[in-house]
Amino acid sequence: MDNLGIIFKRELFSYFATPLAYIFIVIFLIMNGIFTFELGGFYLRGQADLLPFFGFHPWLYLFMVPAIAMTLWADERKTGTIELLLTLPIRLRDAVLAKFLAAWVLIGIALMLTFPIWVTVNYLGDPDNGVILAAYLGSWFMAGGFLAIGSCMSASTKNSVISFILTVSICFLFVVMGSPILLESFPGWMPQFLVDALSAMGFLTHFNSISKGVLDIRDVLFFGVFIAAWLLASAVVIEIKKAN
């Protein structure tokens, strides 16, 4: 646990030691503002909720999270520092988890800094703050799913650009799997149990459920197991690359 904490602090502080964290947070806040107030028609809807805000998060994360994730391991492999890291008396699982947690906390900080939008909707109306809080948690869980995929893809290649493209592509598949439009087009030629299976694997299915204020243990478990599986895959990939 000590090694995990040390690596976590090093990774988290390293984000803020460079412009990376600040650029990410500023772009994240600007894009959320544009999506919520301009594209989402926040003021025109006349409803005291944050549906326009959270509705764009899966698509915003589709590009923002891979941009953070692509440097998790690809840069370590490119510069050769991964060999130094793995020769230290630390467990690989601690290194993988610590790097993931540092990036996940960075995303969480960016998400928390959107609180003025929450304050705005409370000033203009009387929203259900319990639902909004659940949606924030669901958004953060979903970001963790994107990030875990990015961790595995970053461990697979030295090239950050390739890592970014692979992460975006795979994350896109998990987003559209839960898309209502796509799911409604399946039943005509696909067995219902396969449609249900695809829906159960889609990020939108679980995120939409949580964002309605329903903290179902199945949705939380989905993201927890999903993240754990991809982090395990990251460790396996690193071990294979190290052996080669």
pLDDT number for residue 240? 83
- CA within 13 Å, CB half, 27: 14
Neighbouring CB atoms inside 10 A of 221's CB total 11
pLDDT number for residue 146? 97
Q: What is the pTM of this model?
A: 0.90
pLDDT number for residue 182? 65
pLDDT, average across residues 8-16: 91
Kindly report the average pLDDT of the chain as a whole number. Answer: 86
Percent pLDDT > 90 in the chain is 47
pLDDT number for residue 84? 67
Ordered by start, the domain boundaries in the chain are: 2-243
Cβ–Cβ < 8 Å for 40, 52: yes
pLDDT number for residue 108? 96
Assigned token pair, 133:
């809080």
Higher pLDDT, residue 124 or 27: 27
| pLDDT tens digits, one per residue of 120-172 | 888 888 888 999 999 999 999 999 999 999 999 998 888 889 999 999 999 99
Nearest to 149 by CA among 60, 26, 237: 237
Nearest to 24 by CA among 109, 101, 102: 109
Q: Mention every residue, 6+ apart, whose C-beta is less than 8 A from residue 196.
A: none
Higher pLDDT, residue 199 or 115: 115
Higher pLDDT, residue 195 or 37: 37
